Amino acid sequence: MAKIPQSVLTAWGNHVGPVIFTTVNQNNIPNSVYATCVSCDGENRFIVADNYFDKTRSNIQAGSRGSFLFITAEDKSYQIKGQIEYHQSGPLFDDMKQWNPEKHPGHAAVAVVAEEIYSGADKII
């Protein structure tokens, strides 16, 4: 588990559009979704609200690792890779309920725990 560097947190503060969140199933077939309800805990995790996951939720429950991709206003891309935590209660879940729009169900807070971080092809961690 790596601490997210300040440069990546700054880039996150300047991200545009939805993020792309990718998991794989037990046959290693990838599934990517656009996600707009996303936050960063500032330490080592990016949080995605599980509002309407189906295949993604199944992949997570089967133990998938994940990848999280975003782009900045300056057209720089960042990718975070790591383990996934699925929180249906507790502090991360409660926090997600605060920023996730009420019109969405917010079934769980899905945390991608940073183990590797890239900016384009350059490995940051």
The full 3-state SS of 10-75, as one line of letters, equals: HHHCCEEEEEEEEEECCCCCEEEEEECCEEECCCCEEEEEECCCCHHHHHHHCCCCEEEEEEECCC
Write down the pLDDT at residue 42. Answer: 78
The span from the CA of 106 to the CA of 50, in Å, is 6
Write down the pLDDT at residue 62. Answer: 97
Write down the pLDDT at residue 45. Answer: 96
- The secondary element (H helix, E strand) that includes residue 78 is strand 77-82
Return the CATH number at 112: 2.30.110.10
Sequence-separated (6 or more) residues with CB below 8 Å from residue 57: 50, 86, 107, 108
Each residue's pLDDT expressed in tens, for the chain with a length of 125 residues: 679 999 999 999 999 999 999 999 999 999 999 999 999 987 899 999 999 999 999 999 999 999 999 999 999 999 999 999 999 999 999 999 999 999 999 999 999 999 999 999 999 99
Q: Is residue 1 part of a domain?
A: no
3 state SS of 103: coil
Q: How many domains does the chain have?
A: 1
Q: Is residue 75 part of a domain?
A: yes
Write down the pLDDT at residue 96. Answer: 98
Write down the pLDDT at residue 61. Answer: 96
Write down the pLDDT at residue 80. Answer: 97
Interstrand relation of 77-82 and 66-72 (parallel, antiparallel or unpaired): antiparallel
Q: Is residue 89 part of a domain?
A: yes
Range of the domain at 12: 6-123
Q: Is residue 92 part of a domain?
A: yes
